[in-house]
């Protein structure tokens, strides 16, 4: 499929391809994969983003007056904006919101989650979505 495509035909080959991008936190899409994500979308790929946590703790650390819901809402607004700028067609949480959280309670963080649990969540998305590129 894509492995047999020459550099001159890459843009044409990516048109219509379904891409799944996975990140731990909202804002990781900006500094970790922004160039690749934007390039894929600009080439016509349909890019979907999956986020594992809601990113409340960094918001609350920056502004202690924010409650969890306000912090989550602020992160989601910025995530919507970054997705629009990057050409991401859709974003959603990897699992139900709140399964893994950014908190000082380390037991509920993504980093503390058993690797098979995280892998199963990613595998579930891949099985349902059937992307050509991950």
**Cα(69)–Cα(14) distance, integer angstroms:** 38
Specify the pLDDT at position 103: 65
Q: Is residue 13 domain-resident?
A: no
Give the domain extent around 108.
18-129
Q: Whole-model pTM?
A: 0.84
Among positive and negative, which fits the CA dihedral 106, 90, 78, 70? negative
pLDDT per position as a tens digit, 85-100: 999 999 999 987 767 8
Specify the pLDDT at position 116: 96
Q: Helices 34-42 & 68-86, crossing angle to 10 degrees?
A: 50
Note the maximum CA span of the chain: 54
Tokens describing residue 35:
């160039």
- The parts of the chain modelled with pLDDT lower than 70 are 1-11, 58-62, 98, 103-105
CATH number of domain containing 76: 3.40.50.10320
pLDDT per position as a tens digit, 23-38: 998 889 998 999 999 9
Q: Is residue 12 domain-resident?
A: no
Which residues have a Cβ under 8 Å from the Cβ of 37 and sit 6 or more positions away? Answer: 19, 21, 29, 47, 49, 86, 87, 88
Q: Is residue 8 domain-resident?
A: no
Specify the pLDDT at position 33: 94
Specify the pLDDT at position 4: 59
Specify the pLDDT at position 127: 98
| Residue found by looking up tokens 């804002």 in the block | 27
Domains in the chain: how many in total?
Answer: 1
């Amino acid at each position: 499929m894509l492995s047999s495509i020459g550099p001159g035909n890459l843009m044409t080959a990516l048109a219509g391809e379904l891409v799944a991008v996975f990140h731990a936190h909202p804002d990781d899409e900006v500094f970790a994969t922004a160039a690749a994500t934007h390039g894929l979308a600009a080439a016509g790929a349909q890019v979907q983003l999956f986020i594992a946590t809601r990113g409340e703790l960094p918001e609350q650390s920056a502004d202690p007056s924010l409650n969890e819901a306000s912090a989550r809402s602020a992160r989601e607004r910025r995530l919507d904006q970054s997705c629009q700028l990057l050409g991401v067609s859709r974003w959603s949480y990897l699992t139900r919101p709140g399964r893994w959280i950014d908190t000082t309670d380390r037991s509920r963080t993504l980093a503390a989650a058993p690797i098979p649990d995280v892998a199963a969540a990613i595998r579930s998305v891949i099985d349902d979505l059937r992307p050509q590129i991950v």
